[in-house]
Amino acid sequence: MVKQKEKLKQRIVATLRALGILGTAEGVKFALAWCRSRADNAAYAAENPAFARPPAYGMFEAYSYTSYRAYVASGDETAAFIEGLVRRHLSLSLPVVAEWGCGLGRIVKPLRQRTGWSVAGFDYNAASVAWCGRNIQGAAFLENGLYPPLPCADGAFDVLYCISVFTHLPEDLHMAWITEIARVLKPGGILIASFHSRNVADRLLDGEAAQFNAGNMVVRGNVRVGGRLFVAYHPSTFIKNRLLQGFEVLEVVENPVSSMTQTVYVARLSSPGPVDPQRK
Ligand SMILES: C[S@@+](CC[C@H](N)C(=O)[O-])C[C@H]1O[C@@H](n2cnc3c(N)ncnc32)[C@H](O)[C@@H]1O
């Protein structure tokens, strides 16, 4: 029954996407989410007068909710999870860390606060980067384009993490960005990246499931590339054998925190220098 409901939902979304009106439907969803969270957001802001309130539409665009409490709680638990992975796989006491696709600094802020590490956030959304720069102290925020490069030197970071970013990009951008990530990581540096990989069977429609099971990415577009509505699903063979060539996979974590059902890969850059973007 639950599976049937999910498939029906996916069919409706596919139809709206094909008609080019998914964005309009999302506008309605945003209005409903905003109404639902308004009273609790006001209460949260009153309880926490120093809290920098993220813009409602920016939150919805990145996270599909508009709740301050969800932004803070999910950011805290994800930052704790990232900290644990870094400590487990790197022996540095003060690693230099980047988040690519940092959105409204949901993770950067608590990660910086709990560790004191040097953390930089990058995003292609100029408004998010500007908001983070004005409202989050102790971290650098920089804008990049949809395509590489990141505005930083080769080998600038010990760790780069990206949560729910590859999940919104087409295949050519996966290859371009993994090459760029290899450039900005130090040799032996760590990549932490999340994917829609396991437990996606219920969401895939018939043709998509065949494509996925054959080891190919499934991409749902017809909306702005890099936005939340642009969705990519990643078979594990694609991640391990194609995307992460040149990296050694150290750990794979399913459903890492209560607020995220994606699969997280932790991988060490094993061959220094950029990876060939043309490889298939
Ligand atoms: C689902 S949100 C996740 C935000 C953040 N990682 C988090 O978990 O709180 C995806 C983010 O990736 C950003 N993004 C998408 N494509 C990007 C690109 N090519 N370069 C940088 N950021 C990108 C979006 O602007 C958005 O902020």
273 falls in which pLDDT band (50, 70, 90)? very low
User: What gap in Å lies between CA 170 and CA 235, rounded to an integer?
Assistant: 14
Q: Looking at ligand 1, which residue's alpha carbon is closest to its atom 8?
A: 163
DSSP string, 190-248: EEEEEES-SS-GGG--HHHHHHHHTT--EEE-SS-TTSTTSEEE--HHIIIIIITTTEE
Tokens 């990549």 locate to: 191
Q: What is the pLDDT of residue 9?
A: 87
- Condensed to tens digits (0 to 9), the pLDDT of residues 207-217 reads 899 999 999 99
- 173-229 pLDDT, tens digit per residue, is 999 999 999 999 999 999 999 999 987 878 898 889 999 999 999 999 989 999 999
Burial of 25 per CB tally in 10 Å (0-12, 13-18, 19+): middle
Give residue 102's pLDDT: 98
Residue of 165, 166, 174, 259 best suited for mutating to test ligand 1, as the one with most atoms within 8 Å of CB: 165
Ligand 1, atom 24: closest residue by C-alpha: 101
- State residue 278's pLDDT score: 52
CA of 160 to the centre of ligand 1 (A): 13
**pLDDT of 156 higher than 80:** yes
On the question of pLDDT at 7 being above 90, the answer is no
> For residue 103, which atom of ligand 1 is closest to its CA?
27
Whether the pLDDT of residue 280 is over 50: the answer is no
The per-residue pLDDT for 271 is 62
| Ligand 1 atom closest to residue 128's alpha carbon, by position in its atom list | 27
Ligand 1, residues at Cβ distance < 6 Å: 62, 100-103, 106-107, 122-125, 128, 144, 146, 163-165, 168-169, 226, 228
Would you place residue 5 in the very low, low, confident or very high pLDDT band (cuts 50, 70, 90)? confident
- pLDDT of residue 46 exceeding 60, the answer is yes
Collapse the DSSP code of 122 into the 3-class scheme (helix H, G, I; strand E, B; otherwise coil) and give the result.
Answer: strand
pLDDT at 130 over 70: yes
Is the pLDDT score of 239 beyond 80?
yes
pLDDT of 33 > 60? The answer is yes
- pLDDT at 134 > cutoff 90: yes
Residue 13 has pLDDT above 60, yes or no: yes
Instruction: Return the pLDDT at 254.
Output: 94
For residue 186, the 8-state DSSP code is E
Q: What is the mean pLDDT of the chain?
A: 93
For 57-93, the pLDDT digits (tens) are: 999 999 999 999 999 999 999 999 999 999 999 999 9
The residue type of 70 is: A
- Domains of the chain and any CATH numbers: 71-269 (3.40.50.150)
Q: Mean pLDDT, to the nearest integer, of 90-114?
A: 97
pLDDT at 274: 44
Q: Cα torsion for 63, 95, 150, 268, to the nearest 10°?
A: -90
Residue 100: which H helix or E strand, with range?
A: strand 96-100
